[in-house]
A and B are shown apart, each in its own frame.
Chain A
């Protein structure tokens, strides 16, 4: 059973477009992280959100944690080819981290 569902699973867009990736669950998490993973490498942490309703910005990336701490979104403005990768959300519950199904993003120059 997958606790965190991400959508879309695949996304291919032109450079300069905006996009949003969603991470949804029926469970409450104490915190939620977003990672980006490139081929042949481990995931790299982008951000951690802890408070319901929290919004964090990292350059062109905006992360939001849902008010009920069950869901999150990642918005990228003016996507660039360097944003290409697998985006993973992960919710912390107790000692475990539950990872989402992943969103594979391709930004075409």
Chain B
């Protein structure tokens, strides 16, 4: 079956421009996460969506970052007025609802290949 897909795979933008990154989660997965990963480092949590609930935005680094999830499926991460320190790989992951499914499987995340963002 189809996994998590992200687009574009690579994005080069000039400092100050806005960018949009897209994530298509696995069908049926109600939870969606965005992470940021700097070169060779661990993942930094950005935002979490679960169904129609208000998203957990506690990881967003500044008000230049925002995300939407339309119809409980596709999500878009928007970075306004990009800065060089925004350069990183942005990863999206989806999972079944961790609050209702119970069991080990409720905590498994499936990742997309990421979008490598370079701000020049």
Contacts and interface: CB of A to CB of B under 8 A. Distances in A.
Interface in A40-55: 40-45, 48, 50
A42 B56 contact: no
Nearest to B91: A42
Interface in B56-110: 56, 58-59, 91, 93, 98-99, 104, 107-110
Interface SS of chain A: helix, strand, loop or mixed?
strand
Contacts, number: 67
A33 B98 contact: no
A92 B48 CA distance: 13
25 contacts: A4-B42, A31-B104, A33-B109, A41-B114, A42-B91, A42-B93, A42-B111, A42-B112, A43-B111, A44-B111, A45-B108, A45-B109, A48-B107, A48-B108, A92-B107, A95-B50, A96-B45, A96-B56, A97-B107, A99-B45, A100-B42, A101-B41, A101-B42, A102-B41, A104-B40
